[in-house]
Amino acid sequence: MITAAMVKELRERTGSGMMDCKKALSETNGDMEKAVEVLREKGLAAATKKAGRIAAEGIVTTYISEDMKIGSVVEVNCETDFVAANDDFKALAANVAKMAATTNVTTVEGLLAEKYVGDESITLQDAVTALIAKLGENMSVRRFEKFVVDNGIIQSYIHGNGKIGVLVQLACEKQDEVLKTVAKDVAMQVAAANPLFLNKDQVDNESLEKEKEIYRVQALNEGKPENIVEKMVMGRISKYYKEVCLVDQVWVKNGDYTISKYLQEEGKKLGATMEVVKFARFERGEGIEKKEENFAEEVQRQMQGK
């Protein structure tokens, strides 16, 4: 006999619907373990069916160790902002960030194959698949980046409920609250101003030559004499550096300072040199082509089981 208590236990273990749990228990004559397997198999089938749907919503989140020496930023995607706000989905994203910070693998595929931090009896891929079956949307771990530091700290900043996530590595001989505040300010700068490079040395030659050619054509189209075009190009390149290089950008919290000058001033107060080593900025869904859906048609498809 299938009891309500058995159905409740199976629901708690698998996250599946009540009727699905009752049916699975009936199919397996009340064998709980076999019922779990049946639901997982059905869940896998459901996940496969949903795998082609575009997942451009979701969460960008970060993980920082207590000593601020290890950090990660990850993007975990789903189909709708409704699921992105779901507690189970947010818990999955947080666990992915923790795994990314503590793993030695460098690819998403490698991370998905590792034991899940929330339940070491399954892999991360298993956890994602189970949540797809439970919440009914396609999901994916899209990307991650990990920082490790000996000298200095790692700081993070999340903007817009997970729309943008930033990780910053700051080098300094001293570590105190001042350093943490500066690192947070730099992370907020990265989120707001979206720098493409850390400094001039990191601007690749292809990007630089492309900008020069654009400015050169602009100057000629403005009717400027060729003998002064090159000077105009170099002047505009100088402006370009200030726009795309983090340390040369004007600090969003105080227009009298560049980030470089801000670090110098705060370093003097602390009695130590501060330097941004690197940063990572993830924006949710960037580069993913979103598919426009007719809501009425989507509801009808779901009612028809498509």
Average pLDDT over residues 120-128: 93
Where in the chain are the domains?
Answer: 4-50, 57-148, 200-274
Range with lowest mean pLDDT among 177-181, 213-217, 243-247: 213-217
Tokens coding 27 = 């199919």
CATH for 4-50, among 3.40.50.300, 1.10.8.10, 3.30.43.10, 3.40.190.10? 1.10.8.10
Average pLDDT over residues 8-17: 74
Q: Which CATH architecture has domain 200-274?
A: Orthogonal Bundle (1.10)
Of all helices (H) and strands (E), which one includes residue 293?
none
For residue range 202-226, list pLDDT tens digits in order. Answer: 999 998 998 888 888 888 888 888 8
Tokens coding 219 = 């100057």
CA dihedral (252, 257, 261, 267) positive or negative: negative
Q: pLDDT at residue 51 above 70?
A: no
The per-residue pLDDT for 73 is 98
The per-residue pLDDT for 296 is 54
Q: What CA–CA distance (Å, rounded) separates 265 from 269? A: 7
Tokens coding 81 = 């902002």
Q: Which residues contact 303 (CB under 8 A, 6 or more apart)?
A: none
φ/ψ (deg, to 5) at 216: -65, -45
Q: Pairing mode, if any, of strands 57-64 and 70-78?
A: antiparallel
Residue 262 near residue 251 (C-beta atoms within 8 A) = yes
The per-residue pLDDT for 257 is 96
Average pLDDT over residues 162-173: 96
The per-residue pLDDT for 45 is 47
Q: pLDDT at residue 295 above 50?
A: no
Q: Which residues contact 259 (CB under 8 A, 6 or more apart)?
A: 186, 189, 246, 247, 248, 249, 251, 276
Q: Tell which phi-psi region holds residue 119, choosing left (phi > 0), alpha (psi between -120 and 50) or beta.
A: beta
Average pLDDT over residues 265-281: 95
Q: Pairing mode, if any, of strands 119-123 and 164-171?
A: unpaired
The CATH superfamily assigned to 57-148 is Elongation factor Ts, dimerisation domain (3.30.479.20)
Tokens 């199976």 correspond to 10
Q: What CA–CA distance (Å, rounded) separates 123 from 51? A: 18
Instruction: Name the pLDDT band for 248 (thresholds 50, 70, 90).
Output: very high
3-class SS at 35? Answer: helix
